[in-house]
Structure 1
Amino acid sequence: MSNEIAPQNSNDVDIANKIDEQEEAANKLQATADLKAEYKELAIQGLWKNNPGLVQLLGLCPLLAVTSTVTNALGLGLATLLVLICSNATVSAIRHWVPKEIRIPIFVLIIAAFVTCVQLLMNAYAYGIYQSLGIFLPLIVTNCAIIGRAEAYASKNPVKQAAFDGLMMGLGFAIILVLLGIIREILGQGTLFDGANLLFGEWASVLRIEVMQLDSQFLLAILPPGAFIAMGILIALKNAIDNHIKNKKVVDTEQVIERVRVNFDS
């Protein structure tokens, strides 16, 4: 009797193990899918839906002040991007050991440390752009986009997701900087990548492009008022695109509903 029961119990154990393995595999697949969806959402938020420059309107002081040329804009964008990634990753790594009561001062100290590192690197290897950016380089510490991401996301999520969030937010901010730099430099000076050698070295002098010849500089585009106007145009363009996408979705939904009604009536 016991010999007959043993194989049955063994089969039951094998079946149970297989079920557990299948459930574990399904859970892993679901976790992977959820992680991919989270990364995708972070990318969309940082680059478009919740862009620090276009939507949150954070860091406007350097955004409007240093974007007179593409080179300056790119230099500040890369510096901000690096600080965002490093500060987000660090805040996430120490989030379990930081008391809630003093978290903001600690976050600011972390950001300030990385900004200092970026300053020293630029001073050593890109002194021209370091001088060109001036006070706006250390002012990255006060950029609300950085402290905001540290508080809102990095302090509540794992390191990889926090670093990726910093990457996407930094890229979104840098893209707006470069776009403003392109608009203002073309309209103000008729060139592109003027002074690229300040950021990339002497070889980058060949990157300078003369888009159009101007008898004199267009001061409105070069000065901060021109930056406000260009920024307003970019924000209006984004809102127009969002409204177009929203209206298109509404029309598509109405068409689907109408088709369902026709099929149901027939």
Structure 2
Amino acid sequence: MQPTPSARTILRDGLWHNNAALVQLLGLCPLLAVTTSAVAGLGLGLATLLVVTASNLVVSLIRHYVPQDVRIPVFILVIAAFVTVIELLMAAWLHELYRTLGLFLPLIVTNCAILGRAEAFASRHPVGPALVDGLATGLGFAAVLIALGALRELLGHGTLLAGAEQLFGEAAAGWSVELVEGDVFLLAILPPGAFIGLALMLALKNWLEARRSG
């Protein structure tokens, strides 16, 4: 039995030191494809957060009852069940955002970060730490999605929170802020812009780490 780390250590690892996107570089397909706006990044980030937290909780609860030789298929089924529920709820209540996210919403099932936390942590620790780990992993991944989406939206269209009504309802239609009129740097919202934006975020994190340690 592995020793259970403290909640503070789990949060620090999930949010920064072992961030799924910036350190482990997992889930890059939806991360790079969806983040053309802050709202799209936030929508996928919230969905991923709910899935990883709920799946960690269930995996921890059933860890003593699942045989070792079938644990991976069982974990995938648990994750797929939660993804299906969230996908159906989003299709019913947030249909415009559901259409914006498209194929990448059901593809949360294949996100290696979620399965990795279920196998490496939730299946080996009690419910409390597993729940904290799911929250930390989901929040860390969502933060990168939102930051990259905001960066690309700002550089590409000169706006922030465009399409907020897709997630928050018609009352949020006026939340969009136009900082620059017209398209600014269209490369930012094209596929190469996603790689460049993520590279800049990785460089910033590494610089902050090097400055802190130095």
TM over 0.5: yes
Counterparts of 1:198 and 1:132, CA distance in 2:
9
What's the C-alpha RMSD, in Å, of the aligned pairs?
1.2
- Cα-to-partner distance string for 1:173-206 (whole Å, 9 max, x where unaligned): 0000000011000000010010111111111111
Alignment match of 2:194 (pick from 227, 244, 247): 227
Residue 166 (str. 1) matches residue 134 (str. 2): yes
Residue 184 (str. 1) matches residue 152 (str. 2): yes
Which runs of 5 or more structure 1 residues have no equivalent in the other structure?
1-33, 248-266
Counterpart of 2:58, as a letter, is T
- Cα-to-partner distance string for 1:24-71 (whole Å, 9 max, x where unaligned): xxxxxxxxxx98x71000010001000001000000000000000011
1:243 aligns with 210
1:145 aligns with 113
Counterparts of 1:208 and 1:246, CA distance in 2:
39
Which of structures 1 and 2 has the bigger CA Rg?
1
Residue 80 (str. 1) matches residue 48 (str. 2): yes
1:59 aligns with 27
> Displacement of 1:213 after TM fit?
1.4
Larger displacement relative to structure 2 (156-165 or 217-226)? 217-226
Counterparts of 1:152 and 1:47, CA distance in 2:
17
Contact 2:57 2:131 in 1 (8 A): yes
Counterparts of 1:38 and 1:80, CA distance in 2:
23
Residue 71 (str. 1) matches residue 39 (str. 2): yes
Alignment match of 1:213 (pick from 166, 174, 181): 181
Alignment TM-score, normalising by the size of structure 2: 0.97
Counterparts of 1:107 and 1:137, CA distance in 2:
18
Report matched runs for 1:248-259 at 5 Å: none
Query: Which structure's relative contact order is higher, taking Cα pairs within 8 Å and 6+ residues apart?
Result: 2
Counterparts of 2:130 and 2:85, CA distance in 1:
20
> Displacement of 1:107 after TM fit?
0.3
Counterparts of 1:101 and 1:114, CA distance in 2:
22
* Matched residues, number: 212
> Displacement of 1:217 after TM fit?
5.3
The runs of at least 4 consecutive aligned structure 1 residues that moved more than 6 Å come to none
Alignment TM-score, normalising by the size of structure 1: 0.78
Counterparts of 1:217 and 1:245, CA distance in 2:
34
Alignment match of 1:197 (pick from 147, 165, 172): 165
Residue 48 (str. 1) matches residue 8 (str. 2): no
Contact 2:155 2:186 in 1 (8 A): no
Q: Which has the higher helix share?
A: 1
Instruction: Give the fraction of aligned pairs with identical amino acids, expressed as a percent.
Output: 56
Counterparts of 2:181 and 2:186, CA distance in 1:
15
2:97 aligns with 129
